[in-house]
């Protein structure tokens, strides 16, 4: 898939970090950041709920952000968006620093999967599986147990519901990202917003 030949090079990380010094990149990051805060807020005020879990469509914007800017800006901005969204659109839950970490981890995973490599269905599938099951279920469920002080029985019920919801959402999120990327990749290539993925297409692997 071409990921590992890039991510262990100094050039890869410098390229991602340099977006913070590029005026066009900063402008576009600011627009996407504002959109992400709004999307996170909407998930609190008008939530879509499956198996007693909130669904957010912000994953679409995060995928675009990761594709354009890579793991360095996506990781840092994810932490900032988490904090701003919490205070601008409070959800009723107490502030919990662990969610800053998991949001930043999700940004890092998507950045690695999408930046400066051939855009593939397999890459998107693996990245979303790591996020939906590994992070949302594997890590965040334990945060919620701590916040709501679940006993073991309540936690097991919550964990099963979360796993079920995320396994349902996983292929749906992959499909939506692919459908969004099909037209966007060509546009980004024409506008020189991306310098990789030379044919502007999504490949299987």
Mean pLDDT of 151-166: 85
Is residue 50 within a helix (H) or strand (E), and if so which, with residue range?
Answer: strand 48-50
Give pLDDT tens digits for 45-101.
666 666 566 678 899 999 999 999 999 999 999 999 999 988 888 777 778 889 999
pLDDT confidence bin for 31, thresholds 50/70/90: very high
Q: How far apart are CA 35 and CA 65, in angstroms?
A: 11
Residue 73 neighbours by CB under 8 Å, 6+ apart: 16, 17, 19, 20, 25, 29, 65, 111
Give pLDDT tens digits for 120-142.
999 999 999 999 999 999 898 88
The answer, yes or no, to whether residue 203 has pLDDT greater than 80, is yes
CB 124 within 8 A of CB 1: no
- For 47, phi and psi rounded to 5 degrees? -75, 145
Q: How far apart are CA 95 and CA 14, in angstroms?
A: 33
Token pair 């499909």 is found at 175
Distances (CA, A) of 80 to 2, 27, 199: 30, 16, 33
CB 144 within 8 A of CB 102: no
Q: State pTM to two decimals.
A: 0.89
Domain at 4-190, CATH from 1.10.1760.20, 2.60.40.10, 3.40.50.880, 3.40.50.9100: 1.10.1760.20
Every domain of the chain and the residues it spans: 4-190
């Amino acid at each position: 898939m071409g990921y590992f030949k890039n991510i262990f090079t100094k050039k890869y990380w410098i390229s991602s970090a340099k977006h913070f010094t590029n005026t066009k990149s900063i402008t576009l990051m600011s627009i996407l950041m504002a959109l992400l805060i709004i999307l996170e807020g909407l998930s609190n005020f008008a939530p879509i709920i499956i198996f007693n879990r909130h669904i957010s469509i912000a994953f679409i914007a995060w995928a675009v952000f990761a594709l354009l800017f890579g793991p360095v800006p996506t990781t840092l901005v994810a932490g900032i968006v988490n904090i701003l969204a919490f205070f601008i659109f409070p959800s009723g839950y107490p502030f919990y620093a662990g969610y800053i970490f998991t949001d930043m981890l999700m940004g890092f995973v998507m950045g690695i999967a999408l930046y400066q490599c051939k855009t593939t269905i397999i890459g998107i599938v693996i990245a979303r599986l790591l996020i939906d099951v590994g992070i949302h279920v594997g890590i965040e469920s334990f945060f919620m147990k701590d916040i709501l002080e679940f006993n073991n029985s309540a936690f097991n019920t919550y964990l099963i519901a979360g796993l079920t919801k995320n396994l349902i959402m996983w292929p749906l999120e992959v499909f939506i990202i692919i459908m969004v990327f099909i037209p966007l990749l060509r546009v980004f290539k024409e506008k020189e917003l991306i310098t990789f993925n030379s044919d502007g297409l999504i490949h299987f692997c």
